[in-house]
């Protein structure tokens, strides 16, 4: 069995980060979300993997390399336009070479269940498709909801919520046998020229193919918005083992599970876990609240922040409390005594305290 990971483009969500980098390289608990999928593939007993990349692929190639660090043999396949899961599978057909294969979509974070999904496929006499499903969430009309009968067969699929009796949703992980290629070729691309997974599954169901559902009980989410990323961050941090590899002075206090990475320095500060302080980051005279990830080489001075993700090389000076925030790479946040001063890129979002205009 082989695996495909679809990382074909920058996407538009979560804004504004999708404009600058692949969403799978945004970090939770200081690790790119892509890495969680790669580790799950290895734990599934799969070593050959193709990553379907877009035109801006250097960052992914630099982060993953040959895959040796993950125990994988990685091949890169270029996709010039994101045209749906079906298109991603079609352009990898020569690589797959008639093997069964696992597919992970680029807008999903699945922390649990992928090894069990692969194991279930092998025990289920290799159906045309085995799809991971979960509870319907508040993700809006982008979800594909499904019905599953008493034997575990998918019997119907719809795009969006609000359909009676559709109480499960596709999570973003699938295992296929080579028969799915015919289903993909038999579907008609939509008005955007996309070959969507909904249409492929529907064709299989309508034409006698076997589509089984595997209901995950583990954690999963999508990369649809900043709040989802923060939720993923909280979940990963909740599994954190406390380790102190950096320097923590006597005037500082660590409460709960806190990871202080190598080269980090904490002075006169309080860090409440679960939290992670990245490589080379300095925290001075500050309070770091729970469920916060500080990336590498950040500089936090006289500030308070909690329930947030701070990416590499960002700085906070004399600000806070900052809550439920995602602060990008090289961002600078500081207090301005004369009032707020904002320098924001396109489609940025900012929330300021309610005040009186004078």
Q: Residue 323 domain-assigned?
A: yes
Q: Are 224 and 172 in contact (CB under 8 A)?
A: no
- Do 38 and 179 lie in a common domain? yes
Average pLDDT over residues 333-354: 76
Torsion angle in degrees (nearest 10) through CA of 65, 275, 234, 231: -70
- Reference 201, options 127, 137, 136; nearest CA is 127
Is residue 340 very low, low, confident or very high in pLDDT (cuts 50, 70, 90)? confident
- Do 142 and 281 lie in a common domain? no
Q: Which of 89-93, 142-146, 227-231, 289-293 has the lowest mean pLDDT?
A: 142-146
pLDDT of residue 17: 56
- Do 84 and 232 lie in a common domain? yes
pLDDT of residue 139: 47
pTM over 0.85: yes
What is the rounded CA–CA span in Å between residue 23 and residue 225?
A: 10
Query: How many structural domains compose the chain?
Result: 2
The order of strands in the sheet holding 304-306 is 253-255, 270-272, 287-288, 304-306, 322-323
Q: Residue 354 domain-assigned?
A: no
- Do 83 and 151 lie in a common domain? yes
- Do 156 and 219 lie in a common domain? yes
Range of the domain at 157: 2-236
- C-beta atoms surrounding 51 within 10 Å: 27
Average pLDDT over residues 288-306: 97
Last-in-domain residue among 204, 236, 268: 236
CATH of the domain at 289: 2.160.10.10
CATH of the domain at 12: 3.90.550.10
- Do 216 and 67 lie in a common domain? yes
- C-beta atoms surrounding 146 within 10 Å: 24
Average pLDDT, the chain: 87
What is the rounded CA–CA span in Å between residue 6 and residue 87?
A: 10
pLDDT of residue 140: 45
- Do 129 and 259 lie in a common domain? no
Average pLDDT over residues 77-99: 88
pLDDT of residue 214: 94
Q: Which of 68-72, 81-85, 102-106, 235-239 has the lowest mean pLDDT?
A: 81-85
pLDDT of residue 358: 45
Helix (H) / strand (E) containing 231: helix 226-238
What is the rounded CA–CA span in Å between residue 314 and residue 294?
A: 9
Last-in-domain residue among 178, 209, 236: 236
pLDDT of residue 68: 96
Q: Indicate the SS3 state at residue 136.
A: coil
pLDDT tens, position by position, 110-129: 999 999 999 999 998 889 99
- Do 143 and 73 lie in a common domain? yes
- Do 170 and 318 lie in a common domain? no
- C-beta atoms surrounding 73 within 10 Å: 14
- Do 167 and 269 lie in a common domain? no
Q: Are 333 and 322 in contact (CB under 8 A)?
A: yes
What is the rounded CA–CA span in Å between residue 233 and residue 228?
A: 9
Decide which of 39 and 351 is more confident.
Answer: 39
Residues 202-240 as b/e (b if ≥16 CB within 10 A, e otherwise) read bbbbeeebbbbbbebeebbbbbbebebbbbbbbbbbeeb
- Do 197 and 263 lie in a common domain? no
What backbone torsions phi and psi does residue 253 show, to the nearest 5 degrees?
-135, 130
pLDDT at 279 over 50: yes
DSSP-assigned beta bridge partners for residue 27: 32
What is the rounded CA–CA span in Å between residue 267 and residue 278?
A: 15
What is the rounded CA–CA span in Å between residue 81 and residue 194?
A: 10
Is residue 348 very low, low, confident or very high in pLDDT (cuts 50, 70, 90)? confident
Q: Which of 43-52, 98-107, 164-173 has the lowest mean pLDDT?
A: 164-173
């Amino acid at each position: 069995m082989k695996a495909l990971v679809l990382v074909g483009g920058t996407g538009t969500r979560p804004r504004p980060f999708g404009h600058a980098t692949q969403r799978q390289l945004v970090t939770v608990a200081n690790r790119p979300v892509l890495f969680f999928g790669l580790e799950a593939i290895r734990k599934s007993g799969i070593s050959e993997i193709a990553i379907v990349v877009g035109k801006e692929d250097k960052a992914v190639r630099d982060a993953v390399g040959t895959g040796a660090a993950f125990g994988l043999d990685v091949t890169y396949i270029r996709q010039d336009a994101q045209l749906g899961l079906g298109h991603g599978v079609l352009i990898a057909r020569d690589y797959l070479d008639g093997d069964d294969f696992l597919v992970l979509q680029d807008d999903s974070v699945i922390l649990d269940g992928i090894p069990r999904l692969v194991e279930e496929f092998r025990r289920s006499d290799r159906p045309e498709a085995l799809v991971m499903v979960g509870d319907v969430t508040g993700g809006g009309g982008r979800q594909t909801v499904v019905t599953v009968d008493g034997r575990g067969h998918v019997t119907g699929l719809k795009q969006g919520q609000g359909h009676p009796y559709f109480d499960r949703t596709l999570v973003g992980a699938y295992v296929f046998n080579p028969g799915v290629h015919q289903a993909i070729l038999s579907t008609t691309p939509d008005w955007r020229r996309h070959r969507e997974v909904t249409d492929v599954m529907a064709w299989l169901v309508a034409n006698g193919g076997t589509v089984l559902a595997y209901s995950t009980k583990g954690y999963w989410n999508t990369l649809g918005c900043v709040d989802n990323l923060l939720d993923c961050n909280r979940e990963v941090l909740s599994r954190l083992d406390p380790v102190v590899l950096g320097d923590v002075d006597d005037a500082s206090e660590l409460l709960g599970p806190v990871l202080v990475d190598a080269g980090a320095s904490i002075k006169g500060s309080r860090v409440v876990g679960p939290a992670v302080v990245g490589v080379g980051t300095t925290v001075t005279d500050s309070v770091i609240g729970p469920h916060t990830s500080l990336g590498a080489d950040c500089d936090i001075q006289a500030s308070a922040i909690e329930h947030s993700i701070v990416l590499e090389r960002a700085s906070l000076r004399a600000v806070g409390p900052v809550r439920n925030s995602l602060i990008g790479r090289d961002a600078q946040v500081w207090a301005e005594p004369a009032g707020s001063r904002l320098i924001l890129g396109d489609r940025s979002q900012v929330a300021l305290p309610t005040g009186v205009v004078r």
